[in-house]
Amino acid sequence: MTGDETPSTDVTDTDGTTRGPEAAARDAPAAATDGGTETTTIDPWGSSTIADYRKLFEEFGIEAFDEILPAVPDPHYLMRRGVIFGHRDYEPVAAALSNDEPAAVLSGFMPTGDPHIGHKLVFDEIIWHQQQGADAYALIADLEAHSARGMSWDEIDEHAESYLLSLLALGFDPEAGTLYRQSQNRELQDLAFELGSNARFAEFSSIYGFDGETSVSHMQSVVTQMADMLYPQLVDEPKPTVIPVGPDQDPHVRLARDLAVRMRFFKVSRAYASFEADAAERELIGRAYEALTESAGDEETVRCEDAADWLETHAVDPEQTAARGSACNKLSEAGKEPVRPRVRFFHRHGPEDAFEAMINAIEGEKRVYEGHIDAFELDFTEAEALAREVEVDAGGYGFIQPSSIYHRFMSGLTGGKMSSSIPASHISLLDDPEDGYDKVKSATTGGRETAELQRELGGEADDCPVYELYAYLLANDDDGLATEVYEECVGGERLCGDCKEQAAVLMKEFLKNHQEKREDAKELLAEIDIDLDSNRRGPGGSH
């Protein structure tokens, strides 16, 4: 994992941020399309193209961030303005932050070049979560940079230092948080090894397109990234953990979530009878049970054959037809067995002692079967907590699936995508402030062909890289400024010359201030236990 081209353990060559003023950006998350020919591609090591952010919701199952925004305490401006547009399972993290319960944030940075304004998004996301009370982790993805990008160790050392200085200059608290390099973290390597035992080449091939030419070290760097995402839960206890990244890193997040489940000793599920039912069947059996209980009263026993009869005579959605058929078969075979809601603990793997400990830990009525236990007096949440507790006591990890939040890719100042290989398209955090000023002054805009047309039609702030600079960085926490620029632009009151001058001055001030803080941070960095002279050998890989 790791930020996006960002910062991340896998950085790609595009970088992200978005456009739009607050809600406008959230409601119209479309990136520029090339006459409708651009497609949405997600590639952790390539150049990802997001033609329409809404497709990430429909095709990849990423959830819209604005739906959870009200549950986030004191949300960061990147959240308020829709720059952070999506998430996977962020609810537990938001709840933990709200309730002062343990939570963690982690992202990584592949040190392939200088940190730039796209990376700043992830720096800010880490720091904000730290300020909200989360344990914060930032890592240097040096194994990935060496194996997947062929970076030399000298180059990696130099860039690693630069990333860390910017992170510290922006406010990361190293005493409260953790910084590490993949190559120097033995505990991480051990976890990666364990995770590798549960990962298969076939799925790497399917997810990442790995083939016979892929280096073994590149594959190893993938399991290392999986370990990164779970590492915060090794340190104290399992806890909700968020990984802030660009959407190009989503394949890593999904794999890490899968591996977190595969490592668990127990699977907890709901059940209604002694037989196995899948989620679709359970939903229908539950519906039959609720209906029959309601009509017959709690005292009356609902039997499996009654539930089968009910299901056969009640309408279901067309896509549930197959599940109804199989559920009815299972219910009919169970005959007079009572239907009773319960939670089920499957013993997937781990020591036999753990199964015995699970049996002993369950209070109230329970039934023990070969490989699973049914408990009748626990609700699902209690059961999950108990399974995790028993697992950790028995030597397991008890991982909670990591959550993620996704920010938009930033547009290049010269139009198109921001690219590290095109200096004019992006602003490095190390750029001379005067160069930063000049780059903003030379940026393309969403302005009209003439000042007259601009006054008449208004500018196109939603397609303007300069507006993005305000929304993502220059307006900082000042929503009033971001809104003012947007509204004056689209209302025709703002002309691009003055607008760019204002942005250029703000950029110059930001770079000057940031670089002074980087100088101050050198002393702090020297005190941190992280080796920036790795003294390693090896040519690195290229694939």
Measured from the CB atom, is 230 or 503 closer to ligand SF4? 503
Measured from the CB atom, is 484 or 509 closer to ligand SF4? 484
491 residue type, one letter = G
Q: Tell me how far, at minimum, the Cβ of 96 lies from ligand SF4, in Å.
A: 38
Measured from the CB atom, is 106 or 489 closer to ligand SF4? 489
- Signed CA dihedral, 155, 161, 163, 166: sign only: negative
Q: By the 8 A CB rule, do 155 and 252 touch?
A: no
Q: Tell me how far, at minimum, the Cβ of 49 lies from ligand SF4, in Å.
A: 23
Q: Tell me how far, at minimum, the Cβ of 469 lies from ligand SF4, in Å.
A: 9
Tell me how far apart the alpha carbons of residues 250 and 55 are, in angstroms, rounded to a whole number. 13
Q: Tell me how far, at minimum, the Cβ of 489 lies from ligand SF4, in Å.
A: 3
Tell me how far apart the alpha carbons of residues 273 and 183 are, in angstroms, rounded to a whole number. 50
Cβ contacts of residue 270 below 8 Å, gap of 6+?
282, 286, 341, 342, 343, 344, 380
Closest CA to 341 of 286, 296, 281: 286
Q: Would you tell me which residues interact with ligand SF4 (CB under 6 A)?
A: 445-447, 459-461, 464, 466-467, 485, 489, 494, 496, 499-500
Q: Tell me how far, at minimum, the Cβ of 461 lies from ligand SF4, in Å.
A: 5
Measured from the CB atom, is 249 or 425 closer to ligand SF4? 425
Measured from the CB atom, is 20 or 246 closer to ligand SF4? 20
DSSP label of 49: B
Measured from the CB atom, is 172 or 467 closer to ligand SF4? 467
Strand 84-88 relative to strand 403-407: parallel, antiparallel, unpaired? antiparallel
Q: Tell me how far, at minimum, the Cβ of 486 lies from ligand SF4, in Å.
A: 7
Q: Tell me how far, at minimum, the Cβ of 291 lies from ligand SF4, in Å.
A: 57
Measured from the CB atom, is 54 or 455 closer to ligand SF4? 455
Q: By the 8 A CB rule, do 205 and 222 touch?
A: no
- Signed CA dihedral, 506, 509, 515, 519: sign only: negative
Tell me how far apart the alpha carbons of residues 298 and 249 are, in angstroms, rounded to a whole number. 49
Measured from the CB atom, is 305 or 509 closer to ligand SF4? 509
Tell me how far apart the alpha carbons of residues 288 and 317 are, in angstroms, rounded to a whole number. 14
Q: Tell me how far, at minimum, the Cβ of 504 lies from ligand SF4, in Å.
A: 11
Interior angle at CA 459, CA 427 and CA 439, nearest 5? 20
Q: Tell me how far, at minimum, the Cβ of 447 lies from ligand SF4, in Å.
A: 4
Helices marked H in 170-278: 186-196, 201-208, 216-230, 232-235, 250-262
**Torsion, CA 245, CA 250, CA 256, CA 260, rounded to 10:** 100
